[in-house]
A and B are shown apart, each in its own frame.
Chain A
């Protein structure tokens, strides 16, 4: 009996503790004008107060930790607070399983949720079917389930609650391939290999590898013999596990000039590469061209100059504001006159020097995790929010998020 009482008391204590947590329920709308904006003009200053709004914007996140997660959380909370919303994260299924994503949303759903930011497309049609009144926008996802003609959620393009998505990089593997082939050719690399994720999960990677080879073949067709580039062997497909060191022992892989990692190479290639270098299985001169943002001190020190990593491409975390702006316009009932559920490629956030790393770590949202370093100012956001600027257009929003302002080079200025 004592144990039963102990159980009851322990549970009461746990739940009492939980009940003291942050309230997600609808409350009086926060007054953006009453808070000081660290980095710029406040949205909706005293002359232009925002309409009273409230509720929760739910972010179905594919990340659960790491610098990009932290930055997105901080920035999402910052903007939502300014606009009078609560920002709540829900963790999507690790493998984009439709049922897992629907369960995550359903279990966390509360009455005050007014919109969803989705970073995965698995089950998106089921989520929107389950909650037909909620607006949904994508962030860091190509939403292939919707935008591919044979996608299971293609019909959502006709759903007026689907607001569009901003992609992590390029929706098309062709554009990504062109970027990599340009870097390889301009970098003077003569012997390269490609590594990607499997096509069943990332169909665009297969396209990117194919187009990259075509680009190199086209270059070789006119290049002098001494300048020709060799793409060694078949593309290596990583099944979401780090590259094995034995790969460097395969023919031609030990003395590559560069590895083109069309995947999150900072996590899946770089550690093995360093280990292989230490063991003498990989040339110390081999460079890595890839994506993915990690902030380990050793890795950061190895970017640019004579470092192993010569180029990292990521998307600015400010992109989450694109989705929040779309949601706010819809929730306010003030859509853009030129609205369409568009899919926007992200601007390229290219890191290729120690100077870039220093600028990012000291002066960017990605590096500091502090919203005051956002490269999109509050005034910029105000200019594309229809609650403040009724004449704002989708074209303006897209132009803002594809502008030079969001590049690494802009940090140097």
Chain B
């Protein structure tokens, strides 16, 4: 006789409480920003606001989805803002020179892959925290941007030689986000690439001793992330058809906040999920777009977002031991 195992709802809820809290944060935001704005004559679900939401979320979401690979290893890449700024500049400048966006995108991709290789490999080769090499790149890229804009004699460049308005389409944004999400989810959940990344995040020593190549499987996730950074840079540039010496500033923090809001453990490991990046990015952007709709003045939104952020972190980021992640 086979024994039928009874589904234990309570145990399931306990096991998924943190996921539920993170998803619940998004759901609560959606409910609140659906119910209250009509009292203020506003509507989150209007075409204009949905478009604003999509354009607000797209860059952070594309970056965050890719960053899941990096964070799952317990690493961080804080050169991402500098990278987005440089790639957006390259795409605009080369677009104006060649009349096409392709050369700029390809050059950006090459640079991104090189940076990815260096960021991924140096940690293991030089026995330093990978974040250190990303700090170095952040400084190099910011300096490079400063030199470029000094040379150009301006603080921003505008694309006039190529068409970019297609990247402002919310539909295209959604399609690209879904495609990236599916690809990264597949790589993360169904290939050795993702499984090894999580294993490295959970216990690097055990991962290495179980045969996972210590350099290769640290570099490959950075290459996946590099592709996502370039995709995000294209949409960042395409939003206004321009780039400036401050484009990308603070994006590394946006990614971190989005991942934390989504319930992603900063220490990496097996609890890492791609969906958390999307949930966090949408929660983050919903707050940006939704708070003004319920009458919160701009100078108060930082405060309200901070309160919500700390609540979500306290609930979603605790480990079983009750401590916050490193």
Contact = CB atoms under 8 A, between A and B. Distances in A.
A110 B42 contact: yes
B196 interface: no
Interface string A177-211: 00000000000000000000011110100000000
A4 B21 contact: yes
B267 interface: no
B131 interface: no
Tell which of A8, A15, A19, A88 has the most Cβ of chain B within 10 Å. Answer: A15
Given A7-B28, A19-B295, A98 B300 contact: no
Contacts of A88: 297-298
A3 B297 contact: no
Contacts of A199: 153
A221 B21 CA distance: 77
A21 B298 CA distance: 12
A398 B37 CA distance: 40
Contacts of B240: 98-99, 102, 123, 126
B52 A96 contact: no
Contacts of A22: 295, 297
Given A95-B245, A99-B247, A112-B41, A14 B304 contact: yes
B303 to A, nearest CB: 10
B149 A200 contact: yes
Interface residues of A, number: 52
Contact of A106 (B20, B52, B298, B308): B52
B244 A111 contact: no
Interface stretch (B118-126, B217-225, B272-280, B285-293): B285-293
A21 B296 contact: yes
B153 A18 contact: no
B244 A96 contact: yes
A107 B315 CA distance: 27
B39 A90 contact: no
Nearest to A106: B52
Nearest to B39: A19
Contacts of A110: 40-42, 292-293
Interface stretch (B68-76, B100-108, B154-162, B198-206): B154-162
B299 A103 contact: no
A7 B25 contact: yes
Contact of A26 (B41, B292, B293): B41
Interface string A1-36: 101101110111011001101111110000000000
A25 B153 contact: no
A240 to B, nearest CB: 10
B249 interface: yes
A344 B201 CA distance: 60
A294 interface: no
A70 to B, nearest CB: 12
Contact of A107 (B40, B42, B289, B312): B289
A89 B296 CA distance: 11
Given A6-B315, A22-B295, A97 B249 contact: yes
Contact of A99 (B155, B239, B289, B299): B239
A102 B42 contact: no
Given A102-B240, A106-B52, A25 B246 contact: no
Contacts of B144: none
B169 interface: no
Contacts of B149: 200
A19 B36 contact: yes
Given A7-B315, A99-B239, A99-B240, A107 B56 contact: yes
B214 interface: no
A39 interface: no
B32 interface: yes
Contacts of B17: 1, 3-4
A307 interface: no
B297 A7 contact: no
A94 interface: yes
A102 B239 contact: yes
Contacts of A95: 155, 244-246, 249
Nearest to B238: A99
A3 B150 contact: no
Contacts of B47: none
A89 B21 CA distance: 33
A109 interface: yes
A201 B156 CA distance: 9
Contact of B24 (A8, A19, A25, A64): A8
A90 B292 CA distance: 10
B242 interface: yes
A21 B295 contact: yes
A96 B154 CA distance: 12
B24 A7 contact: yes
Contacts of B241: 126
Contact of B298 (A91, A93, A112, A239): A91
B1 interface: no
A100 interface: yes
B153 A203 contact: yes
B294 A107 contact: no
Nearest to B33: A15
B152 interface: yes
29 contacts: A3-B21, A3-B315, A4-B20, A7-B21, A7-B28, A7-B315, A12-B32, A18-B291, A18-B300, A25-B295, A91-B299, A95-B249, A97-B244, A98-B156, A98-B242, A103-B56, A104-B298, A106-B52, A106-B55, A107-B56, A107-B288, A109-B292, A112-B41, A122-B156, A122-B244, A126-B241, A152-B242, A198-B150, A200-B150
What 10 pairs between A and B have smallest CB-CB spacing? A95-B246, A152-B158, A98-B240, A97-B244, A25-B41, A98-B242, A126-B240, A97-B246, A18-B296, A108-B292
Given A21-B295, A108-B298, 12 more contacts: A8-B28, A11-B28, A14-B307, A15-B294, A18-B295, A25-B40, A25-B41, A88-B298, A100-B246, A109-B292, A110-B292, A152-B158
